[in-house]
Chains A and B, each alone.
Chain A
């Protein structure tokens, strides 16, 4: 498949601090590729290097075959960047924001006007086009930021935490638009710490932690491989907990993780799934559920708070 972003041994250091520590990945044309990880994992730094706004310390990084060190302007012309921070022009209207941005790409006015109309319609912003930005809700601003990122019909749309701070309705609307774009064949690079978002949108993803890539794969394969499909969460204290732990030790195919008074029991094999059913703990607080990326992530990086 066609590699549109290619990173080898990519390193970014700020003084003594290594933000990105020798990562390798490829993004293929037409896919939605996720960079997952907690704050400080190096996701944003990686996207900033791809967007040519942060110099690479070491390693290789090409976008559409162009070297980020040599051809930043050509690369930036191919990208649509939707940043985490709100950096719309607050004193301009919705429409003017798009027009001013189109001008940065040297887009002829008539073409820009046409694309602006299309974008406004797609993101349901046509009614708001003459409103000033500071009057908009966070959800509307985020939709506009994505519309702005698409104004140059980019080869790659780079999204950094596109739904952070949005309420559930606004978030689902953004997801719906992003799924639509994915369906249209827009290549997307999505940075997020929402596992649910990654599961919803990404074809493939990597999980990053402390500047390194821990694992790479499709969301389903990662869940299957690292946690199994099912999880039991048990809230237990005291002697009951000891009983269950003793019982678990004798049952094959199960992995247990203890966090404070919660036991997370993962069934990674068919045996394990059968054995989970055998467990009949005397607790009112038992949750049987499907495992998700969050379990994978927490298993790989530990459930303790990393600061």
Chain B
């Protein structure tokens, strides 16, 4: 007896080592433009630490007795790399996909569309890692790191970078124009920046909001960083890590299917 299986659009992506070629290409462009690319990520975290950490922090008394600047440091480690990865795979990828037609140029070679998508996400995560490394250095310079475990923030920066890059590229794959990326940043990225548990503890929110925050990616990333920076890792952090891995895998598949649908016609 034969069974007619339904045809799923989902299949194992045809990814090869050539994704690295795509990563190399974007790295080469970055190395040419790094000064203008780097100025914003270099300046903003320092400004934030000065303004909110030292400025506003003078007026803030936390229940835990922690200094406010120490409280926000792990959060900054989470959200600025988020901006880097999300920005790269939104504006950066959109320009490469649509304005410059770079993806079309690449897929005319043995590099396939799934390699392109994977390479883009790997590069987005690399931007998060570069950014995370810098912020780790800045927070260390402000003497805000309590534990050598903080060094583990780097692999977490790459992993969470993969997540934000996958989510971002999924949105980019359906964006009609570069200005429609604003929806993504206004409704997804910026709210996480301000409401993801970086600038105030989530337990000050009403119960329902605190529970809803479980669905927000940054919450899990910030939670892990707090454990690492304060030197108090907990088993529950493995749950946060698993959450990140699952969401990354899901959005990676969304990006692959959706981008393929857009570009391979």
Q: Is the CB of A104 within 8 A of B21?
A: yes
> Is A90 close to B, CB under 8 A?
yes
Q: Which of B77-108 contact A (CB under 8 A)?
A: 100-102, 104-108
Main secondary structure of the interface of A (DSSP, over half): loop
> Is B265 close to A, CB under 8 A?
yes
> Is A72 close to B, CB under 8 A?
yes
> Is A92 close to B, CB under 8 A?
yes
Knowing A91-B29, A100-B25, say if A76 contacts B104 (CB, 8 Å). no
Chain B residues, CB < 8 A from A55: 264
> Is B180 close to A, CB under 8 A?
no
> Is B33 close to A, CB under 8 A?
yes
Q: Which of B216-251 contact A (CB under 8 A)?
A: none
CB distance from B200 to the nearest CB of A (A): 40
Find the residue from A83, A91, A104 having the highest chain B CB count within 10 A.
A104
Q: Is the CB of B29 within 8 A of A101?
A: no
Q: Is the CB of A72 within 8 A of B28?
A: no
Q: In the complex, which residue of chain B has the Cβ closest to the Cβ of A82?
A: B108
Chain A residues, CB < 8 A from B109: 76-77, 101, 104-105, 152
Q: Is the CB of A105 within 8 A of B110?
A: yes
Which of A14, A74, A83 touches B108 (beta carbons < 8 Å)?
A83
> Is B24 close to A, CB under 8 A?
yes
Q: Is the CB of B111 within 8 A of A104?
A: yes
Contact with B along A57-98 (1 / 0, CB 8 A): 000000000000000111011010101011111111000100
Q: Is the CB of B112 within 8 A of A14?
A: no
Q: How far is the CA of A104 from the CA of B25 in the complex (A)?
A: 9
Chain B residues, CB < 8 A from A103: 21, 24-25
> Is B67 close to A, CB under 8 A?
no
Knowing A92-B28, A100-B28, A104-B21, say if A53 contacts B108 (CB, 8 Å). yes
CB distance from A84 to the nearest CB of B (A): 10
Chain A contact residues, CB within 8 Å of chain B:
14, 51, 53-55, 72-74, 76-77, 79, 81, 83, 85-92, 96, 100-101, 103-106, 152
